[in-house]
């Protein structure tokens, strides 16, 4: 069983966002009608996930045009505001990609930009279904038509997209085919996207799961409890090097040692063909409070310094395959993107 979860939508000349900072205990929708509100939602992770960020960016350009019309902005002011939207989170390529896609249409007028943004959202929704099928087919061909124990890191489902999801979308498709025994969901410190968001989605879809500390992932994999691991991506270089939520690299290393498949699932728009390898990917470093505080409560000494990268880069040699809506790229076999 699966359900329709809408994380982001264009409604009545504005954007409605499901505030993911409040999940799983509260389901609250935000109303976004200014660029400042959109940038704030992006930066504090009320909306997150590379595909959803792309859609948010595209809608944000429409909001900027509406706001500029109300306040009589100059074209230079509009460009500056759109730049700030594009750069709100630097690692996720989809945000900049979508903003750049629709900003080129600004001279054609607001309705043309809105049509392009809606098209990006619709294409993302379809791509989730397609990725689910491509990924499920690949895993069944690789491991056999049986029930699988799968591991996933961070959230890559409907909350990160406009559709069924990327890596979690593959898991949902496998579940629909009767090929899932259980899902190991890494909690994903420090913001707990796994325990707060992925577990919430799995429960909604009635997919058996258990939450584990990030530090338990390697043990689960090396002790034979996991048949394959699936992650999403925020940016993929041409050689297959993949930037994803911090902790993904550790999962990949464990899968490599155990000899089990490690899948990266993302739309074609996440592939940055201007980057030859992962050394060129800018990694966002976030604030100390995310590590020193949990639920608003301080859990570290006063003045403690942290190292809090939001993402890490998994070298392509540890990636089995990259699944997109178009096909499966055989990274392990030396294929490039």
Tallying the residues shown for the chain, one arrives at 337
Rounded Cα distance between 52 and 57, Å, is: 9
Helices and strands (DSSP H and E) totals, the chain: 11, 15
Three-state secondary-structure class, residue 312: strand
- Cβ 201 vs Cβ 155: under 8 Å: yes
Residue of 234, 241, 272, 312 marked active site: 234
What is the 8-class DSSP label of residue 278? G
272 annotated active-site: no
Rounded Cα distance between 244 and 95, Å, is: 14
Q: How far is CA 324 from CA 39, 187, 194, 281, in A?
A: 28, 25, 22, 20
- Cβ 242 vs Cβ 317: under 8 Å: no
Structure tokens at 156: 């890559």
Rounded Cα distance between 35 and 56, Å, is: 10
C-alpha torsion angle, residues 222, 227, 233, 236 (rounded to 10): 80
Rounded Cα distance between 18 and 55, Å, is: 14
Q: What amino acid positions are annotated as catalytic residues?
A: 234
């Amino acid at each position: 069983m699966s359900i329709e979860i809408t994380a982001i939508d264009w409604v009545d000349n504005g954007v409605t966002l499901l505030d993911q900072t409040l999940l799983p205990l509260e389901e609250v929708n935000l109303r976004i009608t200014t660029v400042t509100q959109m940038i704030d939602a992006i930066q504090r992770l009320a909306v997150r996930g590379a595909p959803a960020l792309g859609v948010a960016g595209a809608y944000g350009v429409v909001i900027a045009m509406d706001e500029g019309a109300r306040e009589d902005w100059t074209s230079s002011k509009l460009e500056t505001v759109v730049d700030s939207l594009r750069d709100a989170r630097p690692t996720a390529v989809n945000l900049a990609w979508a903003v750049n896609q629709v900003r080129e249409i600004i001279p054609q007028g607001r309705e043309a930009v809105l049509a392009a943004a809606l098209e990006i959202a619709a294409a993302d929704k379809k791509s989730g279904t397609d990725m689910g099928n491509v990924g499920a087919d690949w895993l069944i061909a690789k491991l056999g038509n049986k029930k699988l124990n799968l591991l996933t890191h961070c959230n890559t489902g409907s909350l990160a997209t406009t559709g069924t999801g990327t890596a979690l979308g593959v898991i949902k498709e496998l579940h629909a085919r009767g090929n899932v025994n259980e899902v190991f969901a890494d909690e994903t410190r420090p913001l707990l996207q796994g325990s707060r968001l992925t577990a919430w989605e799995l429960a909604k879809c009635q997919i058996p799961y258990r939450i584990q500390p990030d530090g338990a992932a390697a043990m689960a994999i090396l002790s034979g409890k996991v048949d394959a691991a699936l992650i999403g991506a925020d940016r993929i270089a041409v050689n297959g090097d993949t930037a994803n939520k911090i902790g993904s690299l550790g999962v990949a290393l464990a899968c490599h040692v155990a000899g089990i498949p490690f899948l990266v699932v993302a739309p074609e728009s996440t592939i940055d063909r201007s980057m030859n390898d992962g050394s060129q990917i800018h990694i966002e470093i976030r604030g100390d409070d995310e590590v020193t505080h949990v639920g608003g409560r301080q859990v570290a000494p006063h003045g403690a310094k942290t190292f809090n990268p939001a993402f890490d880069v998994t070298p392509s040699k540890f990636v089995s395959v990259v699944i997109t809506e178009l096909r499966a790229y055989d990274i392990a076999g030396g294929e490039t993107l």
